[in-house]
């Protein structure tokens, strides 16, 4: 059962985000008589402090988290892999500069840098994507650099160099396919981190703005009513916990499948 748990949760998250626009939802409809109402037959997750159905806003928040997670992962993956690969293959002063820049980014907690960038650029989902991408490329650059450093002296790479193959072609055809597995695993764990980071920025008011919904902003709105309407915090909090847990479990399974040594042991 636990083996299929992450697949069910991630599939539900994707279904909510993708099918949400076509569902008969009213996330911004205000129903004053139902303010802070708990789960009832018409709204099985209850209503928030403005009388809006929490289920509808939960689906809207799933769209926001998936949008930010996918875009941040893609941008960070491409930029970080390119910088790390070129840095490791070229070496010299280029690699020295890249390593120092990576060290500077790693010296400060990523979420603090993201808060600083988002604060400078202003609130909005696009600015959240930019801020998290500026911070997120570092992990992919460090991983790709380490992998390329270990592979660039392989016989097939040396043979390609001796034949006059261009550096970018060597990186694309002979090196990147060999490091794709750890990069894919890193991207899987990165998605879970982005979901939490986006919720944190929205909780601070630096993410999506009303009336748009985010799991972080839903938790922020519910903190004032914890004693009288705990479902306002518990519903988005549990949803985010399940998604992050499921994505991390999928990352663990993917890492085990792509690890040649563990396959050999099995």
Q: What are 99-109's pLDDT values in tens digits? A: 999 999 988 88
Q: Looking at the predicted structure, is the pLDDT value of residue 258 above 60? A: yes
Nearest-angstrom CA–CA distance, 182 and 218 = 34
Instruction: State the pTM of this model.
Output: 0.88
Q: Decide: helix, strand or coil at residue 148.
A: helix
Query: What local confidence, expressed as pLDDT, does residue 63 receive?
Result: 93
Q: What are 32-86's pLDDT values in tens digits? A: 888 888 888 777 888 988 889 999 999 999 999 999 999 999 999 999 999 999 9
Q: What are 24-41's pLDDT values in tens digits? A: 888 888 888 888 888 887
Split at pLDDT 50, 70, 90, the class of 158 is confident
Region 247-255 average pLDDT: 87
137 compared with 39, residue with greater pLDDT = 137
If you ran DSSP here, which 8-state letter would residue 224 be given?
G
Q: What are 162-213's pLDDT values in tens digits? A: 877 787 888 888 888 888 888 988 899 899 999 999 999 999 888 888 888 8
Domains assigned to the chain? 57-265 (1.10.3720.10)
Query: What local confidence, expressed as pLDDT, does residue 260 receive?
Result: 55
Query: What local confidence, expressed as pLDDT, does residue 123 receive?
Result: 85
If you ran DSSP here, which 8-state letter would residue 47 be given?
B
Query: What local confidence, expressed as pLDDT, does residue 27 receive?
Result: 86
Closest CA to 51 of 238, 171, 211, 170: 211
Cis amide leading into 211 (omega within 30): yes
């Amino acid at each position: 059962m636990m083996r299929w748990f992450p697949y069910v949760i991630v599939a539900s998250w994707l279904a909510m985000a993708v099918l949400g626009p076509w569902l008969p939802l009213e996330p911004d409809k205000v129903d004053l008589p139902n303010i802070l109402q708990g789960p009832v037959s018409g709204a099985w997750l209850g209503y928030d402090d403005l009388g809006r159905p929490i289920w509808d806003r939960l689906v809207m928040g799933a769209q926001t988290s998936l949008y930010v997670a996918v875009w941040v992962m893609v941008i960070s993956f491409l930029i970080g892999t390119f910088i790390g690969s070129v840095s490791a293959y070229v070496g010299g002063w280029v690699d020295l500069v890249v390593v120092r820049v990576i060290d500077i980014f790693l010296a400060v907690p990523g979420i603090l840098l993201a808060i600083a960038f988002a604060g400078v650029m202003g609130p909005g989902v696009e600015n959240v994507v930019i801020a998290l991408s500026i911070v997120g490329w570092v992990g992919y650059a460090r991983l790709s650099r380490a992998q390329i450093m270990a592979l660039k002296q392989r016989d097939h790479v040396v043979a390609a160099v001796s034949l006059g193959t261009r550096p970018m072609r060597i990186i694309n055809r002979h090196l990147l396919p060999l490091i794709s597995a750890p990069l894919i695993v890193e991207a899987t764990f990165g998605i879970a981190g982005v979901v939490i980071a986006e919720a944190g920025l929205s909780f601070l008011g630096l993410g999506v703005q009303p009336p748009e919904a985010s799991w972080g902003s839903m938790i922020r709105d519910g903190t004032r009513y914890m004693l009288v309407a705990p479902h306002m915090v518990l519903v988005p909090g549990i949803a985010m916990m399940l998604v992050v847990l499921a994505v991390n479990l999928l990352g663990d399974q993917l890492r085990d499948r792509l690890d040649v040594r563990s396959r050999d042991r099995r």
